Chain A
């Protein structure tokens, strides 16, 4: 089910809210939790019911393995040691992900390299598999390290399946989620939270429906339809996608955070004005924050730990490897690997600049990098990496990049090859992302005022009245 659909807004969410709080106030806590798990599975299965068994098996298996590790007793002889339980869990999760997400990619590349003709499985990618697998890997690792004391199946199931964050994050950590579901004070309706949730949800819906979906038309036309692109068209195409991705994904996150607030659950922030970043390190601290935290803790740190002696170059190598994996996590395509690689290299260069070059240049040449120039370099580089993220293949990426470099066409252009609306939207995209406060900042200053009421009503009305062209969220593909 999509957040930007009539079914979710007018039926699923209100019904879920009413039943949950009715149960919370009148029945034992387990019943309201069980209801929330069932509702989340309905939300998940609405898309493709055939993958419901997959998520259920994944949840049960991971819970079982985690329980074995939490209550592992050295003195008792068990079939597997604690570390082997963890290995088994990791293999199970990675195998699941590999089979459903990467099998055809692997077969295609094998066929290409070895000249074999293995037929493709052509499996439909189970929705949200990348997200719920990551969350469960984190839980397994923490269970192994003794960071999880105790958990019940229902708590664990809600943590994984809670519908606002199930499909595309934010990637939540059990430490920040499970205590919230057990907090008695959160079992009653809280109108402060409901108001805030509505406010955040309306901003997210507006971002998705009114802004991202409009950019999507131009991005698709440039990336997928056009045979060649001139200078202005190519820049407009790449910028359209850069803005589409931000408004789409951050819009989804806002709706997730807003929906969760209705149930008194606070989800972590995922975006913090990423296009204001003045360096690639800064960018990844602002973009998909929960993914950055996950890969830092569960990929980068273990790689670093595996080195006997750590130095700057090894740390940078670990960064690039981490981002290559993160790139591949997004999808089974070399384009995502390139995207990851470019970001890894960007961060490594940024570190090199911070640790080595900046001081030298300041001392010797008294050179200081202008903040605005730093922003410009960062934004252009991010925009470049997103071309590989969006393009279906190298040819499509080359088409856009070639157009962006083809200055010769600029002088010949008498009339603009793109519409005034597209230009207006791109300018608006810059203004919103660079000058305005982001949703989190707005939420922090939220008060139940007439101004906010009118603002929310306008955003909600306009968005709901534009739901005629319902579209998927970009991160549903990952």
Chain B
């Protein structure tokens, strides 16, 4: 072989290999940059939901038509907003370990894309939220097109593509997988397994928790910086085993009530799902692990919140009352009744 042939063959083959891998990554689209959908990319792994959802919002959503954003942690990612019958155009912008300190940045980014305020911000808040450190923002990355498209020329992205292809062909959702329209799919473990997972998760989640005041400051900032937006606040449901653990540890229980009081003080109204309701009792059937409840629960929660705000279009199954939710407001009398109810629940559960 002549040296010249060798040099050109080497360069061409290298380029071809890189192009093939780039092409495959574009075809599967693990970063959600393009809209194409087929049987090889129907199950998408949310390996970096901050980045993926921010890119999706920038590249694929007409933000001018968006009315509301739903922020929350991984618990809220399971709520498929597309299935709620409402006139509002909502985008589920929740991501793993999402906390208010981060929502400030991502909301500001989303407002930048829309060019105006959102009508509603729905916040799904977790009990352990105040103990979670906000992560570094990915907005700078999202805005750098070269850096983003470059990611498709990497082995790291190939690994994600490969995983997506495998899951799509096997229709395997695992912990959670996203469809191309960003609905979440999740495999359902048996109730026995859920119980085991929940007990295991308690140990890892509730060990050495330190609740930080910054969490409440961030919520105040969020509200202050968006005076033209209506905030709908709800707290995510928890299973009975988790609530039992909170009740058995004075520090956790104290934080639980402090959290609730502070949220009510900041937002005036909180739809409180984190208590001994039917969801908590039936968690083995309704959740993956005692903390992450399936879309069916999310659907009911969102329906209730939107109905409460007068935004549900489907009035057939109109519910006047949501037994799983306690509404906390600044009405002190009402608040006292609810607190009594909660205390009663704790006392009853610890008998």
Contact = CB atoms under 8 A, between A and B. Distances in A.
Interface of A: 6, 191-192, 194-195, 198, 448-450, 452-453, 456-457, 460-462, 464-468
Contacts, number: 60
Contacts of A452: 6
Given A198-B10, A461-B18, A464-B153, A448 B3 contact: yes
B154 interface: yes
A453 B9 contact: yes
A457 B6 contact: no
A194 B3 CA distance: 8
Nearest to B5: A448
A50 B1 CA distance: 47
A193 to B, nearest CB: 8
Given A195-B3, A468-B154, 16 more contacts: A6-B150, A191-B4, A191-B7, A194-B7, A195-B10, A198-B11, A448-B2, A448-B6, A452-B6, A453-B6, A453-B13, A461-B17, A462-B155, A464-B153, A467-B153, A468-B150
Contacts of B151: 468
A456 B10 contact: yes
A37 to B, nearest CB: 26
26 contacts: A191-B3, A191-B7, A195-B6, A448-B1, A448-B2, A448-B3, A448-B5, A450-B1, A452-B6, A453-B13, A456-B10, A457-B10, A457-B13, A460-B14, A461-B14, A462-B155, A464-B153, A465-B153, A465-B158, A466-B156, A467-B153, A467-B154, A468-B150, A468-B151, A468-B154, A468-B156
A453 B150 contact: no
A461 B155 CA distance: 10
A457 B21 CA distance: 14
Contacts of B2: 191, 448
Interface in B1-56: 1-7, 9-11, 13-14, 17-18, 21
Nearest to B9: A453
B91 to A, nearest CB: 28
Nearest to A452: B6
Contacts of B10: 195, 198, 453, 456-457, 460
A10 B118 CA distance: 43
A11 B154 CA distance: 18
Contacts of B18: 461, 464-465
Interface of B is mostly: helix
User: Most chain-A CB neighbours within 10 Å: which of B4, B7, B150?
Assistant: B7
Contact of A192 (B3, B150, B153): B3
A331 to B, nearest CB: 29
B286 to A, nearest CB: 36
Contacts of A192: 3
The 3 A-B pairs at the shortest CB distance, nearest first, are namely A191-B3, A448-B6, A461-B17
A465 B20 CA distance: 11
A462 B154 CA distance: 9
Contacts of B7: 191, 194-195, 198
A195 B10 CA distance: 9
B1 to A, nearest CB: 5
B17 A457 contact: yes
Contacts of A468: 150-151, 154, 156
A198 B10 CA distance: 9
Contacts of B6: 191, 195, 448, 452-453
A240 to B, nearest CB: 21
A17 to B, nearest CB: 11
B301 to A, nearest CB: 38
B3 A465 contact: no
A465 B13 contact: no
A403 B2 CA distance: 55
A464 B7 CA distance: 17
Contacts of B153: 464-465, 467
A452 B2 CA distance: 13
Interface string B196-217: 0000000000000000000000
Interface string B136-152: 00000000000000110
